[in-house]
Amino acid sequence: MKILGIESSAHTLGIGVFDSARGILANEKAYYKAKNSGIHPRKAADFLSENAGAVLDAAIAKSFPLSEFDGVAFTLGPGLGPCLQVGATLAKTISLKYDKPLIPVNHCVAHIEITRFITKSKDPIVVYVSGGNTQIISREEGRYRVLGETLDIGMGNMFDTFGRALKLEWAHGSIVEQLASKGNYFELPYTVKGMDLAFTGLITSAIKSLEKHSKEDVCKSLQETSFAMLIEATERAVALTGKKEVIACGGVAQNKTLQNKLSVMCEERGATFAVAPNEYNADNGAMIAYAGSLALAAGTTISPEKAKVKQRYRTDEVELKWK
Ligand code: FE2
């Protein structure tokens, strides 16, 4: 089965190709780099549509002509409306022009499935950490159930907000990670409520701390505190479910400090920890293509007329028809 996957939920226009016989054949992308500001949905959407043609050409060059695909998968949601619309329109156009099944994919489920595929994980606790999402997930009774999550902002957005407070030219969590490697820890507010987490008190306090502490020290303390919160809730999920595998996925899962801490916790709990290479944790088209192949094999398609993007589309709304 040959599936084209189109991702456009936020700042990335990603187009990937999954072939069930040969694996991932292409994972091409264009990335909208918002400078010292939050992401502007309209500007991002313009960037995505301007780059869609070139990204599609690159993916096709590494795989098959459009006429040879068995289906076109796209991100139905969640995400920013104008950005989601770009990918949906492209997918619908290809589906109609070449008479191919159109496959709706939940972005969060795609992050989980590509990570399970690459790490060969069977039944893990999932730590899903990205800009907009921070969730601890377990598959129970045919759905990815959210056992714990952020009560306010996603961890990635918290790092981006802090990056902007530092007036970094490119406010991004990876720069916070670099600065943190040279810093020393001091205490910041730690908020875990049962299985849930809250970050607004922490980020407000971190920004205020810049008056007294170096940016390296605040970056270090912000990372240490937020990661400890996340790991506390994850450890509880492992204890509660008795599962023996933990995987991390989403943009923030690229953070090496977080990976190391999760790995230590898992070792102490007798569980394994795995994470996919960075290219599959950042938003990408291959994950949509792969998740699309699972959905199509289970018979999930949508007619182009009915395919309306869903800005809010929770992980646990998706009925999983595959193993
Ligand atoms: Fe994502």
- CA dist 221 and 128 (Å) reads 21
Both tokens assigned to 51? 């780059």
Residue 34's pLDDT is: 77
User: Domain coordinates of the chain in residue numbers?
Assistant: 2-110+283-317, 123-279
Res. 90 pLDDT band, cuts 50 70 90:
very high
Q: For the chain, give the percent of residues with pLDDT over 90.
A: 94
Is CATH 3.30.420.40 the classification given to domain 2-110+283-317? Answer: yes
Element (H, E) at 73: strand 71-77
Q: Cα(59) to centroid of ligand 1, in Å?
A: 20
Average pLDDT of the chain is 96
pLDDT tens-place string over residues 212-252? 999 999 999 999 999 999 999 999 999 999 999 999 999 99
Q: Cα(192) to centroid of ligand 1, in Å?
A: 23
The answer on pLDDT for 125 being more than 90 is yes
Q: Give the mean model confidence (pLDDT) for residues 273-278.
A: 98
pTM score, whole prediction: 0.96
Q: Cα(310) to centroid of ligand 1, in Å?
A: 15
pLDDT tens-place string over residues 137-153? 999 999 999 999 999 99
- CA dist 166 and 132 (Å) reads 20
pLDDT tens-place string over residues 61-74? 999 999 999 999 99
- CA dist 6 and 29 (Å) reads 10
Element (H, E) at 59: helix 41-61
Examine domains 2-110+283-317 and 123-279 and report if their fold is the same: yes
Both tokens assigned to 125? 């606790």
User: What is the C-alpha R_g of the chain?
Assistant: 19
Q: Give the mean model confidence (pLDDT) for residues 286-299.
A: 98
Q: Give the mean model confidence (pLDDT) for residues 87-115.
A: 98
Residue 33's pLDDT is: 87
Residue 37's pLDDT is: 67
Q: Cα(186) to centroid of ligand 1, in Å?
A: 31
Residue 60's pLDDT is: 98
Q: Cα(282) to centroid of ligand 1, in Å?
A: 6
Q: Cα(124) to centroid of ligand 1, in Å?
A: 19
Q: Cα(62) to centroid of ligand 1, in Å?
A: 24
Report the relative pairing of strands 192-193 and 143-149 from DSSP bridges.
unpaired
- CA dist 159 and 154 (Å) reads 9
Res. 36 pLDDT band, cuts 50 70 90:
low
Considering only CA atoms, which of 258, 3, 239 is closest in space to residue 110?
3
Is CATH 3.30.450.40 the classification given to domain 123-279? Answer: no
Both tokens assigned to 298? 């289970």
Q: Cα(7) to centroid of ligand 1, in Å?
A: 9
- CA–centroid distance for 105 within its chain: 13
Residue 173's pLDDT is: 86
Q: Cα(131) to centroid of ligand 1, in Å?
A: 7
Q: Cα(12) to centroid of ligand 1, in Å?
A: 9
Q: Cα(291) to centroid of ligand 1, in Å?
A: 13
Element (H, E) at 90: helix 81-98
Q: Cα(181) to centroid of ligand 1, in Å?
A: 25
